[in-house]
Amino acid sequence: MSKNFSELSYRKGLKNNVFEEMTEIDDISKLKAKGKENLMGSANLLGAMSFYDFLKPENKGKKVYVCNGTACLCAGTQDEVINNLSSHFDESEIGHMTCLGRCYENSAFHYQGSNYSALKKDEIEQVIKGDEKDSLAYNVESSGTPVLTKPFEGIIQLKSLMQKSFDKGSQYVLDQIVAANVRGRGGAGFPMGIKLDGCRNQKSDKKYIICNADEGDPGAFSDRYLLEEQPFYVLFGMLMAGFTTGADDGILYIRAEYPDSVTVMEDAIAQLKENQLVGENILGSGFNFNFKIIQAQGAYICGEETALINSIEGQRPEVRTRPPYPVVQGLFNKPTIVNNVETLAAVYYILNQGANSFIKLGTEKSKGTKLLSLDSFFNKPGIYEVEMGTSLSKVFNELGGGFKENVKAVQIGGPLGGIVPSEKFDTLTVDFESFANGGFLLGHASVVCIPERMPMIKYLVHLMDFAAYESCGKCFPCRLGTQRAYEMLDKAEQSDYKIDKVLFDDLLTTLTEGSLCAHGGGIPLPVRNVLQYFENELTDYFE
């Protein structure tokens, strides 16, 4: 990162954000003037713009975008979608998006600012004509005590809880979150209370709270559920994080692939403003807090907190070296908290019911509940909330209703999550320790099913193609390693080329140990799982 660039971006701040200005540039010739205006080189701005899916010349301004996410790949629906859309659009007018959060029914595409899925040819024709309305229905259930799926009680109750929290003080709020031991739900599992305490202890004239709503794991739509169905839980969590740390600005960085989420959150913030729960001196507490929504432009790496920070600043979204950590030096070089949507949403329950109620749920080290996203291979696909420690087989067979067809494995936790073979379904429980001890990763807890008919070599080619495409390019191991792994796997699938096992293992080890962040460091995990549990399928492709 460039500290100077961060300072220059701070001059513009959030109101006239450099990133948002950059996304509105429709002609590269205007870059020079914009760079001069911001005292930033046009090459810097072009380098940043060219990274994002929806700003890249080859994918920008398409008339329709087709989902190429893993769940849709495994379902085998997208070729038909493209064929149906080809009746209305030229090939040059069709672009791609990676996971629209429609994994529960697939056949997903984006048209004129809206997402659609599971539509037949004649229904797609109606969409193009502007006559078809999309159905957003999917199953939402909880097993045990609902924390995140519990119906919102209303603005009056939220106001009362805010007043109670203000009256008891910021130390009380922090103590409750620390006592609850809520761990980051975005994948890393880092305790939220430690982050808040670290930021609270920093001396600074400005601090920020960022809701990371760009966790774009293909197969995951739990963030989308919370943003669109439980927006006040998320906003309350951000408010309390700000109150605890002394931050007065909250940024919701929301995926471009979730346009409805932006609309819902805007409406929810407006309701808070109407009730004087946002702005200056909220409820006479002396606490000021305002929200800012930033719509991302398609970059999986922005799910990594430092890449996300760079993105907001208008820098190329590359991962930063750490230390310093964001709680010390984050957005605009100021102390910053970055938390996942689900992590923030849990704060409402913790302060409403008390930390003791939260820690009674779950296991010794994994407290509370977890949302799981079940894809279209289940008889009852959708969002399910379970207490940490719930058996995976219960989630699959009782809540999800079992599988529609034979499934040989599932990938849980996104592209960097482990690939769990079917014989392990009965041995795992939904918590961080069970998955780690089994050689897997809970992560976002998205579940993408790999059917018997899907060759594992094809799945690995897709996985590494995704990893190479989405690498930020900051470190050599990830930038080169993911690309070389993709090339080796693709060549082996397409020809009689045999992969050298020793060379391939060395490449995976280099990725794991040498990558700057979890993107390159994590992608070897699912590959090694396949090598371990599906060796018989890969024999023909390795020496």
Upper half-sphere CA count for residue 219 (Cβ side, 13 Å): 27
Q: Give the residue-averaged pLDDT of 21-37.
A: 79
Kindly tell me if the per-residue pLDDT of 44 is higher than 90: no
Q: Give the residue-averaged pLDDT of 5-12.
A: 87
Q: What is the DSSP string of 339-384?
A: EEHHHHHHHHHHHHH-HHHHHTSB-SSSBSEEEEEE-TTBSS-EEE
Does 216 or 274 have the greater pLDDT score? 274
Q: Which of 98-102, 168-172, 332-336, 464-468 is predicted with the least confidence, judged by mean pLDDT?
A: 98-102
Query: For 459-543, where are the E strands, in sequence order?
Result: none
Q: How confident is the model at residue 275 (pLDDT cuts 50, 70, 90)?
A: very high
Beta-strand relationship, 94-97 and 64-67: parallel
Kindly tell me if the per-residue pLDDT of 133 is higher than 70: no
Q: How confident is the model at residue 386 (pLDDT cuts 50, 70, 90)?
A: very high
Query: How far apart are alpha carbons 52 and 57 in whole angstroms?
Result: 10
Q: How confident is the model at residue 136 (pLDDT cuts 50, 70, 90)?
A: low
The angle formed by the CA atoms of residues 154, 155 and 158, to the nearest 5 degrees, is 95
pLDDT of residue 356: 97
Is residue 212 helix, strand or coil?
strand
Q: Give the residue-averaged pLDDT of 516-528.
A: 96
**Residue 498 contacts residue 541 (beta carbons within 8 Å):** yes
Phi, psi of 97 (to 5 degrees): -130, 150
Q: Edge-to-edge, what's the strand order for the sheet holding 336-340?
A: 290-295, 249-254, 208-213, 336-340
pLDDT of residue 187: 75
Q: pTM higher than 0.85 for the full model? A: yes
Burial class (CB in 10 A: 0-12, 13-18, 19+), 90: exposed
pLDDT averaged over the chain?
94
Query: How far apart are alpha carbons 331 and 311 in whole angstroms?
Result: 10
Q: Which two tokens stand for residue 527?
A: 């590959």
Does 35 or 483 have the greater pLDDT score? 483
Query: How far apart are alpha carbons 237 and 341 in whole angstroms?
Result: 9
Beta-strand relationship, 249-254 and 290-295: parallel
pLDDT of residue 46: 86
Helix axes 78-85, 121-129, angle to 10 degrees: 50
Query: How far apart are alpha carbons 310 and 313 in whole angstroms?
Result: 5
Kindly tell me if the per-residue pLDDT of 1 is higher than 90: no
Query: How far apart are alpha carbons 458 and 311 in whole angstroms?
Result: 32
Q: How confident is the model at residue 135 (pLDDT cuts 50, 70, 90)?
A: low
Q: Give the residue-averaged pLDDT of 263-283.
A: 97
Q: Give the residue-averaged pLDDT of 376-399.
A: 97
pLDDT of residue 5: 83
Region of 36 please: left (phi>0), alpha (psi -120 to 50) or beta: alpha
Task: Give residue-wise pLDDT tens across range 226-241.
Answer: 999 999 999 999 999 9
pLDDT of residue 12: 83
Q: Which of 5-19, 213-227, 521-535 is predicted with the least confidence, judged by mean pLDDT?
A: 5-19
List domains and CATH numbers for the chain. 64-135 (3.40.30.10), 142-359 (3.40.50.11540), 371-451 (3.10.20.600), 456-541 (1.20.1440.230)
Kindly tell me if the per-residue pLDDT of 134 is higher than 80: no
